[in-house]
Amino acid sequence: MLSGLSCATIERSGSSSQDELVITRKYVGNFINYSNPSSSLVGPHVLLIKTSQDSVYGYIPVCTRKCKFEPGEKLYIRRGYQPNGRSGYWVYQIENEKVNRISYRLDDHEYGLNR
């Protein structure tokens, strides 16, 4: 079942001219609540988002002072590639699916989100 996924094609560098399918957005559950942990544990402006799939993803750390998600909203992790000269890096953010989309950058992608 592919519901909750967004895909994009990217062109691979090198001699091959084949495109590669990349998942850029993944459903991570419905928003339940958030907590504001001690800043000494995770940083001064980090909140921990809890979703209905917390048994899979745990709390998701985001860089923000306030959370504007509403209980029950479907949340997705989106990743985007940021080129930086000859190389680049992936940027992860959590977002809802409203017309006026709310999104927050993830604090660190080492929390099981690279699945």
Contact 82/90 with Cβ under 8 angstroms?
A: yes
Q: Percent of the chain beyond pLDDT 90?
A: 35
Q: Minimal CA–CA distance to 69: which of 53, 51, 45? A: 51
pLDDT at 68: 95
Q: Minimal CA–CA distance to 65: which of 29, 108, 107, 112? A: 107
- What is the C-alpha R_g of the chain? 16
pLDDT at 44: 66
pLDDT at 81: 85
What is the distance between the alpha carbons of residues 107 and 97, in angstroms, rounded to a whole number? Answer: 20
pLDDT at 88: 86
Alpha carbons within 13 A on the beta-carbon side of 38: 2
pLDDT at 40: 57
pLDDT at 53: 94
Which ranges of the chain have pLDDT less than 70?
1-22, 38-44, 108-115
In the block, residue with structure tokens 């544990």:
41
